[in-house]
Structures are given as structure tokens and as C-alpha cells.
Chain A
Amino acid sequence: MIAPLDVFFLLLVLVSGIAALAARDLLAGVIAFSAFSLFAAMLFASLGALDVAFTEAAVGAAITTVLFVTVIFRTERTAAPTARRAGRLPAAAAGVACVVAGAALLKGVTGLPAVGDPDSPSSRHVSPRYIERGPAETGAPNMVTGVLADYRGYDTLGETVVIFTGGLACLLILGRTRPPAERR
């Protein structure tokens, strides 16, 4: 585990994320957002989370981007604001709020076990069983699969239900005026 490489990827994530929010053209923003997801996937891979990297790449960089682009083509590519900016939180106030929140959070961060510490509480309490006995107990050499589909299989059921809920929600929201079954 090479820490500098992780930090480098995370900086890329940060920069592309900011670019996604700052881009004038929404489409350019979405492309930057796609890069953001890809860099995040690289970061996860370099931290040893191959499954998460795979998922983030497939979901963030591919599907989510396609969905965003689709919606941009269906709505608008550049915002043409006409309203005055009235009664909204000015950027400076939001900045102050974020700095305060950040200071509070960073105080907590310094107490965390060091990244990569093999003796941190999270590495010593529950997880050793997943590694040392997981493959034998679940029959899955991929320990993440063992945890995901077996030890915590009920979470994964919940996850699948979340996805299904998302699909139904979309159907209801977009289908309120016309039966979607007849669209094709």
C-alpha cells in the first residue's frame, strides 16, 4: 500500500469533483463528473477495494453518466438564469458554515486510527473472522462476496430492494400522465 499514490488519486478526485461543479457548461460538468468517478474507482483499487472500484467504475463512470447526459438532452444544457439571486444563502455565508463544520469534523479525524494500521479496532474486532474463516464457512474465496452475500446477505437484499424502489419511483414519477408500457 503506497500512501503517496492514494493521496495523489484522492487529489485528482477532489480536483475533478470541483471541476464538475464549476463547469459553465452542464455537459462538460457531467464529463468531469465521470472523470471524478473514474478517479474514485482508481483510488479504491489502490486502497485494495477491487470490488468497490469495479462497481464505482461501472456505476459512476458509466451508468450514472449516461443517465445524467440523457437528462441534459431532455432538459437543458446551459442554464439561462433570469431571476435575481434573491433571498439565498450567499457563497460567503455558506463558506463560513462549511469551514465551521470542517473544523469540527477534522477534530474528530485526528483521533482516528492511522490509515493502514493493521491493529485498529476495526481490523481486530469483527472482521478477522470474515478473513480467516470466511472462505471456509461461506465457500467464497472472494471475502467481499462472502460478507456481502452471506454474512450480511440481508443487507444485500435491502440493497436490491433499494434499487427496485428506485425503479418503481421513477416509473411513478414519470408515468403519472401516460402508461409507460405503451411508450415503445
Chain B
Amino acid sequence: MSSYLIFAYGGVGLCGIGVFGFILHTHLLRRLIAFNLLGSGTFLILVGLSQSGRGEADYIPQALVLTGIVVAVAATALALVLIRRWAALTQHATLPEDQGPS
């Protein structure tokens, strides 16, 4: 098993944990973290898996991941802005439907 593939499996693990966390958590910040984990896992799979298929560095997926990271950061930043604004307005860090009966 090449190291590429190992990291691809690692990516799989990250994805799984990310999905688990994303579903489990209602706190928005944690969801965001889970999303980032998912993203990282995906990137790992993308690069690791395609490189394990060829057995050498493949620049295309790497370039894609670079783009992906930037996009993810942009999304994260945007989400944070929204979350903060939401928290400021409502004093909550969860969405209304997840706040339980109140």
C-alpha cells in the first residue's frame, strides 16, 4: 500500500468524522469545523487516490486542491461573518430549530 493510498484512507476517515460531526452538532462553529474537516478529507482523497493510481505526484489534483482550499477559506470566512452576526442578534450559536423547545 503506497503512502498515497494511506493518506487517501486517512481522508476517508476525516470525511467520516466530518459527516458524523456535521450531523451531530448543532453548534454552528462546530459544524463549520466539521465542514472544514470534510473538506480536508476530500482534498486528501483527491490527491492521495489519484496519485496512488499513477504512483507519482499528479499536479492536476494538487492544483485543484489549491483552488479548493481557497474556496473553502472563503466559504469559512463568509460563514463566520454570518454566524457572528447571528449570534450578535440572537445570542445563540445554534439555529432556531436546534434550540429545543423554549
Asked whether A and B interact, the reply is no
